[in-house]
Every structure is written in structure tokens, then in C-alpha cells.
Amino acid sequence: MRFTIAASTLLLVLQAAGARAQDPAPAASKPDAAAAAAPAIERSSQPAPDGAVIWFDQPARSWNEALPVGNGRLGAMDYGSVQESRLQLNEDSVWQGRRDDLQPRALAMEVADVRDLLLAGKVREGQDLAQRTLMDPETDRSHQTLGELVLRMPGMERVTGYRRGLDLLTGISATTWTKDGANYMRTVFASKPHDVVVVELVCDKPRGIDLTVALERQPSSEGCPLVIDAGTTKGSGIVRVWGRTEADAAAGVTFEASVMALPRGGTCVQDGATLRIERADSVYLVIAGRTDYWGKTSLSDRNAKDLTTAATSEQPLRDEHIKWFSKRMRRVTIDLDPSDPAARALPTDRRRARMEAGQPDPELIAIHAQFARYLLLSCSQPGDLPANLQGMWNEHLKAPWGADYHTNINLQMNYWACEVLNTPECFDPLLAFTESLAVRGAKVAREMYGAGGWCAHHTSDAWHRATATGQTVWGLWPHGGGWLARHGWEHYAFGGDLAQLRRAWPLLRGASEFYLDWLVRDPASGKLIAGPSSSPENSFVLPDGSRADLGMGNAMDQEIVEDCWRCTLAAAEALGEQEDRIARRIRDALPSLARPMIGTDGRLMEWSKPWPEAEPGHRHMSHLYGLHPAALFTPEETPELIAAARKSLEHRLANGGGHTGWSRAWLVNFFARLRDGNESWRQLNELLRKSTLSNLFDNHPPFQIDGNFGGAAGLAEMMLQSHQRLGEGAERGHVVHVLPAWPDEWINGGYQGLRARGGHEVLAQWRSHAMHAVRIECGFEPLWIRLPKGCEAKGASSDGKPVAIERRGEAWFVPNTMPGQRIDLVF
């Protein structure tokens, strides 16, 4: 099949761009403007850049060393090479598969048979029956790369003064080098305001740029169409790649990427499917890319519109991008003890290697947290798909685990830091995805389980798969819905957005309804228990020495159910839905729900029977869900469960636990909830030492982005927690707990812009391991404050005037606060 760019479309874009390409401009002005775009990236003769910058003194040798940019939908990985530079491109909806496959089967009777066998103690028979009858085959579909932009510059074999880096504040990746006395700079950014990726190459030597521009991609699979072509007019040009992710036209998506080249000075000619630019003063490349995932429209026309808008913008795209991006990044600052000057002078890869060798580097950990905020802003924006296992940055046609949406921790971990680290707009794609997943999940609940509401199993994709697939050890686990639904309540708890909570209400209500219908009475205890289900993705050893994985009343099941029900009741209260039918059923059922059990060894039991783990150091610690992300276990209310959770963690670690990036990140959060700052800090350091790549991507291995977000969430949990609620009636509110897990090594430091439940925003500073300042901008709830153990406030003020503050147990209450009012504690 031959598909060419429509002549009218190509001409439209290039004519619109022509004026810009031919505009006279002083050649010397371009390097100055580019330098202003990335002020932290200096030439290599200058000292190491300050601030939140990831930088290197050599090009990336592999994809894992490249630097990511993104605008939520479009992304790129910048290798920073010189003679042949690659920019690997992504669009979040380049997916294999189809919407209408994997329809649920009517299996309610089979589920009941499996349940009866498990309750009768016939675990092996029940598991074998479940595997034969309940499980659908796994699918072979994946998120895919959009392609690669390849820029070749002849004669650049040897250069001096090389440096590349990513400025997290501005979202600009920049590469600089010198050749024969001429200084070059190439900048890359992904513009959200204009929905394009931009590359700008400048040189301070007139007519100093010779360049070829090409797009490369392999067909998605055998039989899939793929076309790459180019065209020019009026000194500018376009290269385009078009293709499909499936050979079957009824499946997958059609994708298209277009690169518009706008040289200043010099010439631009077509050379087959590439563009050749010679003797230019500068080159401006604008990249558009789309699929028909959201609707069957002309991709060429939509890309042409994006390119035309970008080419004719009166305001420089870079300026608008910096304004948009830096506004969001500036919301939060994190200041930890200054690192050794010797570490600060090193490129990021050697700085991380120094940590791996055992040297501390608290500033790099702060940069790692800001990098997580940068990544979420770059891969999760309203109107887009949520962050997948790799955010959206993926060089593969068949990515590890399909770069899909694992709902047994990974997708949720991507959003743990979303609220507290002040990127709340990034939540919208997760909410929209969950809404679509619930539609498919309602069919699964009805057909597979004979239940109302909705559910989802351990993995999904862009088509919102909700069925049970693969092996029972990971696939027979219908709690993706209950876990995802809690994020709707959390978003409200942090921001007070009732409109968003109203959107999330059917998700919470539906997940709770599924549990109400699915749970059964345990014949032995009379309690309500969940099952059949696995404890992701762990298994146990039966008395005959064989391994099994299905149970009834597994700890995680019971904890997710309770947490989902409590979040639903809280949402009902906020929305005035206390008398809703499902809310009433929850209140009736809660007292009968089986709670987690503690074994004879003092550990929390992962299953309802004292079965030994087949892998005592397993990466999942599912039975501790009640500790985090839920808050069912607290030192004040359930000290016995807190003690059991600690013993469980110690047992996991003694047997090699935490060996994946995301698992280590979960440990940081667990120990923060235990208020063990020293151990939480040790685990966070281990995350960077053992499970972080040189570009600060998380290393599962391979790369998986959840550990980036989970690690940042853990640091935030050390600095600020707000899950506890105090007070009654009009005084009831979440407690702003400052530095609940304060490690001994944090002698000096501070943070600003972290958000607490209740809508509060918090600043804290400490000096010589003593509180120096706490300022809270009040939210929509009454203000309760808790300080680190041993710290006392002498009073409080607002706008310099004293305000009343009341000591109530371990917390302080500030009466009669108003939203937006600033409260300063006096020490």
C-alpha cells in the first residue's frame, strides 16, 4: 500500500511556515535566545550547573541514558549526540489491540465452585479448577514507539566543550559543544500550549550548520503498513512517517508523525525520504504526532494544523513553554542538607555512582523527587491517557509488560505523589481512564461474578481490559477497581474539588457495590470474607510441599474492601449522600467484615491460614496495604497492627525483599508511615544506589517509572503526613503532621508547597535538627497541626498578629481559620 502526503496539506503547512523560515534575523541573536531558554546549562568550561538539573559530559550511550521531555501526550528521549543525534519519539495512544475483544464470560457458577472448594480446604482442587475455567489467555499487545528523528551533521567526529543536560524547572533539554571555534547549542522541549515537540539548533558562526533530517521506524509487525516520505517548498520541508500498529485495519491505531524543518539562511532540499539542509544559521524543527485512537479523523489535517499554529505563532514557542512549565514546577521546593562540593561538581551519572559506592548525596535525592514531579507533569495531562509502566517513554514495538497499566500497585504508585507534591491536574487522566475501565468492569462484575457494581483485574491497557488473564497467581485478583477508586477520594481530600468528587462518586459507589455482592460469610467465623483471590503475585506452600496461590479472606483483599468502603462513606458524607442505598449497605456490613490477623510469630498474616510464603522476600508486600497506601493501621488506633506490620517488613527484608525499584520505593513509604525516619531514609538512599539508572529513571530492572513516583511519594511522607483525622462536628479535620519521619541526618533543610489533606499548603524549615519555621496556608477544613516528637510551638500568628492555638493531646488546633489564611507557628 502506498500512502503519500496530500499535496494540499503539505503546501498549506509549508506556506504558513514560509514567512518564518525566510524572516531575516541576526545570526548572533539565536544563541543568546537559546541560552536564555536553558540558563542552567552552561558550556563545559563553566562550573557545574546549579539547581534541579540532570547533566552529563558525554552523549547517551543507550536509551537508558537519554533525557525525557513530554507534554502529557507527546514525548521524546534526547540522546544528545552530535554527529548522529537521535530523538526517540512517543505518543501515548500508539497501541496495539482493539476495544471489543476480551469480553467477559458467564462464570458465576464456576466462581462459586472454586470458592466452595477453597472453603472446604481443598486448595489444590480449587486452584486447578480456577485456572482451567476462570482465566482468559494473556494478550500480546503493547504500547509502541512513534519513531525516531535522526539528525546527522557531517564533520562532527571530534568536538570539544561538550555538555548536555535537562533543566527540570524549564523542561528544556540542551546540548552544547564546540567545533573549530564555532559554538553550537541544540535545545529540545515538548510544548503543552502548542502540543508539539520543538528542536532548535543554533550556531554562532554564520552559515555554520549542515544537517540532514530523517524519520526512522520499523513496521509494527508483519503485514502492517508503514510509509516514510518528505517534501519541500520555499526553503522549508517536512518529513513524515505514517503507519498502523496492526495488520488488521479494524484493530490497533493509525499513527502519523510529521517533522517540519524551518532553516534560517542556507538551503533545504529533499533527498528521497530525508531533508538536507546546508549552510544555515539556525534550524528550527517542529514535530507533530497523532493517532486515531480518540476518533477517526484525518491525521494529516490535524498534524498540519498543529504545525501551522506552531509555525505562525507570534509568541516564541519556547517562551510560552517555559512560562507554562516553570509555573507548575515552581510550586514546590525541597531543600536538604547541602551535599559535598565534590559531589555537586560531578555529572549526574558519576554523582549517582558515587552514591552507589556508599557516599551520601541528599541534594541528589531532592533532585530525584523533583524529577518525579517533572515526569508526571510531562506524561499525564488532562485529556490524555494516564502514565503507563514507562510513563509514555518507550523505544520498543514490544515493550516489557507491554508498557501497560498494572493495577495491582504500579498504576496507582504512579499517582501516589500527585496530590502531596502539588501536581493535582495530573490526576485527571487517571480519573478518566478509571471511568472507562468501570464501564468494562461492570460487565465483568455481572458476567464473571454475578455481582453489581464494577471490578477490574490485575492489568489493563489503552482499551480498558478488565478481565482475568494469565495465571491465577497474578490474574485472579479483582481489586484493581477498589484500589483505583480510592484515588478519587484522595483527590478531593487534598483539594476539596466537589465537582471532581461527584465524577468519582460512581466509581467509589460501584466498587463498593461489587464488594457487597461478592463477599460471603466465612462458615467458621461468620465474618464477611473476599475470594477467591490471590495475594499479588505471591504464593504459599501447602503441607504436601506444593505451591498454591488462591485463598479466601486474604489480608490484602480484606484491607482493600474496608478502605474502599470507608472512602465511599467519606465521599457520601461530603456529597450529602449518606442515605444512598449503597452507603446504607456499607454501614450495615462493616461490623461483620473480617479484619487482618496476626500470626503466632507476631507478623501480619498474608493469607487467612498460616501458610508459609514460597518466596519470603517477595517484591509485593500486599498484606501491608492497610499501612500504606491506606491508613487503616496507625500507631494511635491500632498499635498491635503497627507492630505486626513492622515484623512483616523486617522478615521481608531479611529474606531479600525490596529488590525491584518500585518495591524499594514502597518500603520508603511503609517506614515513613511507621514514623521511622532513619529506616525510611536508608531505603530511599538504597533506591538511588541500587535501583536507579544514570539518567535517574527507576530500574525495575528494566526501566519502569513507578519507582520514580513511589520514591518521591516516600520522601513526601517523611516530610508531611495528613491521613489522621481529629475533632468532632465542625472542628473535624485532617491533621497536618510536619516531619513525621524525621531522620537524624536531616540537620538542616526545608520544603515549601507540599499539600496536606484538608486543602492546606505547608512550608517547613529546620536548623540544627530543630524546627525553625512552619507556615500553613489554610484550606477548606479546620486546621490541626502535629509537630515532630519533642518539638513545641510557643504560639502562632497570622499576618504578624497573634492568633489562638490550643494544645489537644499530641496535636495543636487553630480555631476559626479561613481558606487562604496563613498561619505561622512561633518556636
Residue span(s) of the chain under CATH 1.50.10.10 come to: 404-412+424-460+468-653
Q: What is the largest CA-CA distance in the chain?
A: 85
Please give the CATH topology (third level) of the domain spanning 7-95+142-322: Beta-galactosidase; Chain A, domain 5 (2.70.98)
Answer yes or no: is pLDDT of 503 > 50.
Answer: yes
Contact present, 55 and 48 (Cβ < 8 Å): yes
pTM, whole model, 2 decimals? Answer: 0.93
**Residue whose C-alpha cell reads 525483599 in the numeric block:** 657
Domain 725-826, CATH 3.40.50.2300 — does that match?
A: no
Q: How far apart are CA 199 and CA 214, in angstroms?
A: 13
In the prediction, which pLDDT does 48 show?
63
In the prediction, which pLDDT does 101 show?
67
Confidence grade of residue 314 (pLDDT, cut at 50, 70, 90):
low
Answer yes or no: is pLDDT of 42 > 70.
Answer: no
Residue span(s) of the chain under CATH 2.70.98.50 come to: 7-95+142-322
Residue span(s) of the chain under CATH 2.60.40.1180 come to: 725-826
Report the 3 state secondary structure along 267-320.
EEEEECCEEEEEEECEEEEEEEEEECCCCCCCHHHHHHHHHHHHHCCCCCHHHH
CA angle 706, 709, 712 (to 5 degrees): 145
Contacts by 587-590, CB closer than 8 A, 24 or more apart: 589/516, 589/519, 589/528, 589/565, 590/562, 590/565
In the prediction, which pLDDT does 47 show?
59
pLDDT tens digits for range 626-670 = 999 999 999 999 999 999 999 999 999 999 988 899 999 999 999
Closest alpha carbon to 670 in 484, 416, 381 = 416
CA-CA distances (angstroms) from residue 620 to 410, 442, 468, 659, 660? 11, 27, 19, 10, 10
In the prediction, which pLDDT does 658 show?
85
pLDDT tens digits for range 370-394 = 999 999 999 999 999 999 999 999 9
pLDDT tens digits for range 713-765 = 999 999 999 999 999 999 999 999 999 999 999 999 999 999 999 999 999 99
- Under DSSP, is residue 664 helix (H, G, I), strand (E, B) or coil? helix
In the prediction, which pLDDT does 15 show?
39
In the prediction, which pLDDT does 308 show?
83
- Under DSSP, is residue 583 helix (H, G, I), strand (E, B) or coil? helix
Q: How far apart are CA 237 and CA 260, in angstroms?
A: 6
Q: How far apart are CA 453 and CA 508, in angstroms?
A: 9
Q: State mean pLDDT over 54-67.
A: 97
pLDDT tens digits for range 577-624 = 999 999 999 999 999 999 999 999 999 999 999 999 999 999 999 999
On the CB side of 176, how many CA atoms lie within 13 Å of its CA?
23
The CATH class given to the 404-412+424-460+468-653 domain equals: mainly alpha
Contact present, 213 and 275 (Cβ < 8 Å): yes
Answer yes or no: is pLDDT of 416 > 80.
Answer: yes
In the prediction, which pLDDT does 594 show?
98
